[in-house]
Amino acid sequence: MTDRPIELKPVGVVKTILSDDEVRESWHEGIDAEIEIFEQYAPALERIEGFSHLMVTFYLHETSAEQRQTLRARPKRYLRYGLKLEDLPLVGVFSLDSPHRPNPLGLTIVRLLSRRANTLTVGGLDAFNGTPVLDIKPYTPERCVSSFTLPDWFRLLQRHVEMPGSDPGHGA
């Protein structure tokens, strides 16, 4: 019973004039874009003004059936910080933010810039034009964990975002 398929429905869609490549290039800081909530769900946005940040769940619709089979991957985003493919550890996709995963769900914390009727203008989004939106939740105090730890492999990679070009083997 617990492995029956689950059916969800888009409640809105991402609108941006940027191309997919432009969105990819801005993954670190994200893009300003619109989230259009379909008119029948507009009442669900009431009183959302005043939250500076929202947590948006997307369906990453450009992920292929083959990419959904991915269970382990290398965090390739670090290639742009001077690391080589062989420097990147092979990691389970539940330990990564990769779009290639059994259920291609994206989860982004965006800044709510404004709302006009059923359209939200947001900042810090990393989703392509036309991406279906599944859910929106407010960013509230219990969403912020102030004290957390990270694995060594992650901290080693992260160091290259801060200091590009440093040697991955001798960074600790």
Residues lying near a second copy in the complex (CB under 8 A) are found at 2-11, 13, 37-38, 41, 43-55, 57, 59, 71-72, 89-97, 101-103, 105, 107, 109, 130, 132, 134-146, 148-154, 158
Cβ-based burial of 126 (10 A; exposed 0-12, middle 13-18, buried ≥19): buried
Q: 41, 45, 33: which is closest to 110 by C-alpha?
A: 33
Which residue, 51 or 81, is less far from a second copy as judged by CB? 51
Q: How far is CA 3 from the centre of its chain?
A: 25
Instruction: Give residue for tokens 């991402």.
Output: 14
Which residue, 82 or 135, is less far from a second copy as judged by CB? 135
Give the shortest CB-140-to-a second copy separation in angstroms: 7
Please say whether the beta carbons of 90 and 72 come within 8 A: yes
Give the shortest CB-120-to-a second copy separation in angstroms: 9
Give the shortest CB-159-to-a second copy separation in angstroms: 12
Query: What's the CA gap between 60 and 138, in Å, rounded?
Result: 21
Give the shortest CB-102-to-a second copy separation in angstroms: 5
Which residue, 18 or 77, is less far from a second copy as judged by CB? 77
Six token digits for residue 39: 């008119």
- The helix or strand, by DSSP H or E, that contains position 53, with its residue range, turns out to be strand 53-59
Give the shortest CB-32-to-a second copy separation in angstroms: 17
Which residue, 72 or 166, is less far from a second copy as judged by CB? 72
